[in-house]
Amino acid sequence: MKKTTIKSISRSLLALSITGLMASSVFAQDRFAKIEVKAEPVRGSVHMLVGAGGNIGVSAGPDGLLIVDDQYAGLADKIAAALSTISDKQTRYVINTHFHGDHTGSNAFFSKNKNATIFAHENVRVRLAAGDDTDPASLPVVTYEKGVKFHMNGETVHVYHLSNAHTDGDSAVWFEQPDVLHTGDLFFKDWFPFIDLNSGGSVAGYITAVETLISMIDDDTKIIPGHGSMANKADYQRFVDMIKETYAYVQAKKAQGMSEDDVVAAGLEDKWDSWAWQFIGEERWIRTLYK
């Protein structure tokens, strides 16, 4: 498959999950049938699984597996199969970076079939529990307010909560010794980010969260973004620079008295064109920045 095709499929699946259309439709099942879940080594104990939905981070070693996010329920068997190519050990822990369905869809599979314990920020449990027909097995069992650390495979895995950014329940995960950061949806590499203003997210909070994470890493840190390919600090800096510049641009137009629709009609500077994608095009990004 061409790279562009994979991109457009993963983008449309993300859009589906967020609009809630994917729940159990035959259409979505069909789409998942064509999705491959592939494991890529990142560094040391850490691997990344790419399929559809949020990238999955994996720590694998003698104590077992810890995974960060688990994409869609329809991909659970493929995720398990990809994990088995890395290690035959049990998946003991799942961390949800936030509640969106393209990051938490296989929770029930891992808790029921693999006896894994799910960890997340408190608001992730609250938001998942509020959903229609939520399987109790999909809910995080251990919740935290500020973060938690895992000590396994001879390493330390730090989980940090960042407040009111992509949602009100975001976590980022830093695998200390291999020096790998999983950002959850606090990073869409080279794309305008989705900021879920209806679920406690905010543009200012998102910028603060990204800058906090950037201040914690160095040029050697490998980054697994929520969406997009493996990245580094320079990529992350370029991303936050884009957000700050477009935010300042839209806020300046607003201060001049332009309405939201007027700013949409005027558009952003052409240099940002390549950041637009199916789910967050220029119009949606402007409307997010204006509010």
Residues that bind Zn ion (CB under 5 A): 100, 185
Measured distance CA(243)–CA(240) in Å, rounded = 5
Pick between residue 78 and residue 100 the one whose CB is nearest to Zn ion. 100
Rg of the chain on CA atoms, in Å: 18
Pick between residue 174 and residue 188 the one whose CB is nearest to Zn ion. 188
Q: What is the dihedral of CA 151, 219, 186, 110, to 10 degrees?
A: -30
**Strand-strand pairing, 147-152 and 155-162:** antiparallel
Which residues, 6+ apart, have CB-to-CB distance to 7 below 8 Å? 277
The least distance separating Zn ion from the CB of residue 220, rounded to whole angstroms, comes to: 27
The least distance separating Zn ion from the CB of residue 88, rounded to whole angstroms, comes to: 31
**Strand-strand pairing, 155-162 and 180-182:** unpaired
Pick between residue 47 and residue 100 the one whose CB is nearest to Zn ion. 100
Pick between residue 100 and residue 253 the one whose CB is nearest to Zn ion. 100
Pick between residue 155 and residue 185 the one whose CB is nearest to Zn ion. 185
The least distance separating Zn ion from the CB of residue 114, rounded to whole angstroms, comes to: 23
The least distance separating Zn ion from the CB of residue 168, rounded to whole angstroms, comes to: 12
Pick between residue 45 and residue 138 the one whose CB is nearest to Zn ion. 138
Pick between residue 60 and residue 195 the one whose CB is nearest to Zn ion. 195
The least distance separating Zn ion from the CB of residue 270, rounded to whole angstroms, comes to: 28
Measured distance CA(164)–CA(69) in Å, rounded = 19
Copy the structure tokens of residue 43: 């560094």
H or E stretch covering 7:
helix 3-19
Phi, psi for residue 232 in degrees, rounded to 5: -135, -175
Measured distance CA(31)–CA(35) in Å, rounded = 7
For the chain, the first-to-last Cα distance in angstroms comes to 38
Report the Cα 52 to chain-centroid distance in Å: 11
The least distance separating Zn ion from the CB of residue 98, rounded to whole angstroms, comes to: 6
Contact assessment for residue 182 and residue 275, using Cβ atoms and an 8 Å cutoff:
no
Pick between residue 44 and residue 101 the one whose CB is nearest to Zn ion. 101
Measured distance CA(130)–CA(162) in Å, rounded = 22
The least distance separating Zn ion from the CB of residue 13, rounded to whole angstroms, comes to: 12
The least distance separating Zn ion from the CB of residue 54, rounded to whole angstroms, comes to: 7
Q: Return the half-sphere exposure (C-beta side, CA atoms, 13 A cut-off) of residue 51.
A: 31
